[in-house]
Amino acid sequence: MVFRTSRSFRALVSLTPAVFLAACGSDYPQTTFEPITYFGRLQNSLFSNTFWWTIGILVLVEVLIVFFAYRYRERPGQPKPKQIHGNVKLEFLWTVIPAVIVLFLAIPTIRGIFEMQAPPSEDALVVEVIGHQWWWEFRYPQYGVSTANEVVLPRGREIDFQMYSADVIHSFWIPRLGGKRDVNPQPRPREGEGRRINHLVYTPQEEGYFLGQCAEFCGASHAIMRMAAVVVDPAEFEAWTARMGGTPQPAVPQDTQSVRDTIGASQRPAAAPPAAAVAQATPEPAPGSLEAQGKQLFTSRPCAACHTIKGVTGGVLGPNLTNFGARHYVGAGAKPNTQEWVEAWIRDPQSLKPGALMPGAHRAGGGMGPTNLSDEEVRAIATYLRSLK
Ligand code: CUA
């Protein structure tokens, strides 16, 4: 018995470093420790400042406790030690020292909070972030562009995220960009009442693909409400907005800028982009191809009622699918954007994302009956969608 205990003890001891070393791997796409914005670095520095102060206090207190417990332990036959009551010097000291430490924590923190809440600059790129159960809508009012789940951002330009929700509370969090902010339902504002728009303002300084995640429990598929920031070169960003059929929009007064009257305003069409831009957004499939078949099905079946493809369809209940082929995932991070998974999604979205509002081929969803698409039709639609890039 003793032998077995010591063996499991040895196993435990040898496993402990393994557990700690497991944290030293390199592939953490959602780490907060490698921020690509000043905002993120500032948050990080506040974290490490607090962390190291508290670690210092922890070590000091623990060492003293162990030392005194050992040094002044009870010994047999020892007389009762002298009883002490009150020591002004000591009490003064242990009040002043923590107060000074609190100052070292509080001053940078308060300064950091003000820096992180600074209003956006005049030429910031406004991106409206709208949380839906369970996907993300992104609108670029300055360009008349709308997209879903993957937010494309230019490197080096300040971004003003303006966030609200179409249903319940969500939370917008792309760890490597920094910040995590609640995305609150936005009821039609009453007379004289402020809007419930949350902001995050920061400037991505590195190109790449940065994963994020809804960070507030919002229902059955909260865990499958993912998003990503795609940070690109500024010229590439301009090309992307053009590809998305967008054109720079006339500036609107600051107080109403981009903040729509209601969620329903998404139904209001943006200024019509030039036909050439739309054609670029949505290339016409070759006649007779599987893509052409898919397009024909997409526009004539229930798909069109909920999804927009710029220049093709105009539904607004579901994610905008313009340029869908360029996305990395289907279903807001549910599965990789491969032919197989896109077909699986169209066939039965609820098997991949419980509670999804989209109906499947043989299953009702979101108040709509099954789409009754055959496997061949599903294949054609998936092929068409994946060709949009
Ligand atoms: Cu949206 Cu959790």
- The whole-number pLDDT of residue 26 equals 65
Q: Which atom of ligand 1 is nearest to the CA of 168?
A: 1
Query: Does ligand 1 lie within 6 Å of residue 170's CB atom?
Result: yes
pLDDT score, position 17:
72
Are residue 106 and residue 216 in the same domain, yes or no? no
Q: Is residue 143 part of a domain?
A: yes
pLDDT number for residue 23: 65
**92 alpha carbon – ligand 1 mean position (Å):** 49
CA atoms 302, 146, 217, 196: torsion sign = negative
How is 312-372 classified by DSSP, letter by letter? TEE--SS---TTGGG-SEETTTTEES-HHHHHHHHH-HHHHSTT-SS--SSS-BTTB----
Domain finish residue from 54, 85, 116: 116
What's residue 367's pLDDT? 83
Last residue of a domain, one of 223, 256, 289: 256
CA of 329 to the centre of ligand 1 (A): 17
The CATH number covering residue 39 comes to 1.10.287.90
Sign (positive or negative) of CA dihedral 330, 332, 334, 336:
positive
Query: Which amino acid, 193?
Result: E
> Phi/psi at 21 (nearest 5 deg)?
-70, -25
> Using CA atoms, how far apart are residues 140 and 185, in angstroms rounded to an integer?
20
pLDDT at 47: 93
| CA of 149 relative to ligand 1 center, distance in Å | 13
The candidate with the shortest Cα–Cα distance to 322, out of 272, 387, 260, 236, is: 387
Instruction: Report residue 250 as tokens.
Output: 């006339």
Q: Are residues 361 and 285 in the same domain?
A: yes
Same domain, 172 and 228: yes
Domain end (from 73, 90, 116) = 116
Nearest CA to ligand 1 atom 1: 170
In a domain, 327, yes or no: yes
Angle (nearest 5°) at CA 63 between 60 and 68: 120
Give the C-alpha separation, 212 to 342, whole Å. 21
Q: Tell me, yes or no, whether 36 and 74 share the same domain.
A: yes
Same domain as 250, residue 148? yes
Residue 295 included in any domain: yes
Same domain? For 146 and 221 the reply is yes
- Can you read off the two tokens belonging to residue 66? 């162990």
Question: Per DSSP, what are the bridge partners of residue 92?
Answer: none
Residue 317 in any domain: the answer is: yes
Structure tokens given for 283: 């290339």
Dist. CA 372–CA 303, nearest whole Å: 12
Scored b (16 or more CB within 10 A) or e, 151-179 reads bbbbbeebbbbbbbbbebebbbbbbbbbb
Q: Give the CATH number for residue 368.
A: 2.60.40.420
Q: Are residues 141 and 247 in the same domain?
A: yes
E-state strands within the chain: 125-132, 135-140, 145-148, 150-154, 159-165, 170-172, 181-183, 198-202, 208-213, 226-232, 308-309, 313-314, 329-330, 335-336
- The verdict on the CB of residue 307 being under 6 Å from ligand 1 is no
At 264 the pLDDT is 45
Q: Is the same domain home to 251 and 173?
A: yes
Q: Report whether residue 378 contacts ligand 1, using a CB cutoff of 6 Å.
A: no
- Phi and psi at 107, nearest 5°, equal -60, -55
Q: Going residue by residue through the chain, which has 389 residues, state the pLDDT in tens, using 9 for 90 and above.
A: 455 567 777 777 777 777 667 666 667 888 888 999 999 999 999 999 999 999 999 999 999 999 999 998 888 888 888 888 889 999 999 999 999 999 999 999 999 999 999 999 989 999 999 999 999 999 999 998 999 999 999 999 999 999 999 889 999 999 999 989 999 987 666 666 666 789 999 999 999 999 999 999 999 999 999 999 999 999 999 999 988 877 776 655 444 444 444 444 444 444 555 565 555 667 788 888 898 999 999 988 888 888 988 888 888 888 999 889 989 999 998 899 999 999 999 999 999 999 888 999 998 888 888 999 999 999 999 999 999 88
Pocket flag, ligand 1, residue 42 (CB < 6 Å): no
Pairing outcome for strands 181-183 and 170-172: antiparallel
My answer on whether 138 and 236 are in the same domain is: yes
| 235 found inside a domain | yes
39 neighbors 202 (Cβ within 8 angstroms): yes
Buried b (16+ CB within 10 A) or exposed e, 63-74: eeeeeeeeeeee
Question: For the segment 221-260, what is each residue's pLDDT rounded down to a tens digit?
Answer: 999 999 999 999 999 999 999 888 777 766 554 444 444 4
Predicted local distance difference test score (pLDDT) of residue 187: 66
* Structural domain count, the chain: 3
Q: Is the CB of 216 under 6 A from ligand 1?
A: yes
Is 298 in the same domain as 249?
Answer: no
Please check whether residues 285 and 374 belong to one and the same domain.
Answer: yes
* pLDDT, position 63: 97
Instruction: Give the atom of ligand 1 at the shortest distance from the alpha carbon of 223.
Output: 2
Q: Report whether 208 contacts 245 (CB < 8 A).
A: no
Residue 338 lies in a domain: yes
Distance 367 CA to ligand 1 centre (A): 21
Instruction: Note whether residue 313 is domain-resident.
Output: yes
Amino acid at 263: I
Q: Say whether both 130 and 244 belong to one domain.
A: yes
Residue 269 covered by a domain:
no
- Centre of ligand 1 from the C-alpha of residue 332, in Å: 11
The residue whose two tokens read 């940070």 is 231
Please report, rounded to a whole number, the percentage of residues in the chain having pLDDT higher than 90.
Answer: 56
Structural domain containing residue 352:
281-386
